Amino acid sequence: MKISLINAGKRFNRDWIFRNINQEFISGTAYAITGPNGSGKSTLLQAIGGAIMMSEGKAQYAVGAQLKEIEVDNAFRYISIAAPYLELIEEMTLLEMLEFHAQFKPLLSNTTIPEIITIIGLKAAANKQIRFYSSGMKQRVKLAQAIFSDVPCVLLDEPCTNLDAVGIELYHQLIRDYGNNRLIIVSSNDPQEYSFCKEMLSITDYKKVSV
């Protein structure tokens, strides 16, 4: 997959969050979007994923071996995301939620739902409602939902939020095992979350004063 930002800019009222970004993101490479808290990293990540509209410029999406261009409205089919602001269906058990999720976005063909639950260390809680999970357990679920979706692009916003040392190691193991040949974009100001990324994009390089 390839995602291209062309003169991309986003503003709220008179304040530009970012502007004049020209950048290509290509499968097989991991990218990090860095910057201070509140600088707009999450906004940029959502714009890359097509979840919010640009104020100027555009994003283009191409998929497949021939990188055939697709419509922005269909980009979500090829992209998954894990982020602190995305809610889980807490009335469901983990088993129910993954089965429900798979109806809309298929999971990787070489893994089953019971295997995924075991891999993320939540086998003992598979039939417990997610509302009874700790914050760290919920974050493991969010990572699993994104990383095990059968899509070429995975967006990760502050992926180690609420994770302890064991959870952080699990995160890196998931990237090592399931991130190859995919397009991965991490939004973070914590190096331990994006240490594997080969390309860096600092949002402060694209900040503009109010107009």
Give the pLDDT of residue 211: 47
CA distance 208 to 31: 22
Give the pLDDT of residue 208: 63
The CATH number assigned to the domain holding 94 equals 3.40.50.300
Name 149's bridge partners.
107
Tens of pLDDT along the chain (211 residues) come to 999 999 999 999 989 999 999 999 999 999 999 999 999 999 999 999 999 999 999 999 999 989 999 999 999 999 999 999 999 999 999 999 999 999 999 999 989 999 999 999 999 999 999 999 999 999 999 999 999 999 999 999 999 999 999 999 999 999 999 998 999 999 999 999 999 999 999 999 998 654 4
Phi-psi region at 121: left, alpha or beta (left = phi > 0; alpha = psi -120 to 50): left
Give the pLDDT of residue 14: 87
Position 211 in a domain = no
Q: Is the pTM of this model over 0.75?
A: yes
Position 55 in a domain = yes
Give the pLDDT of residue 93: 98
Domain count, the chain: 1
Look up the domain containing 35 and give its range. 2-206
Strands (E), the chain: 2-12, 15-26, 30-34, 56-63, 68-70, 79-82, 153-157, 183-187, 199-202
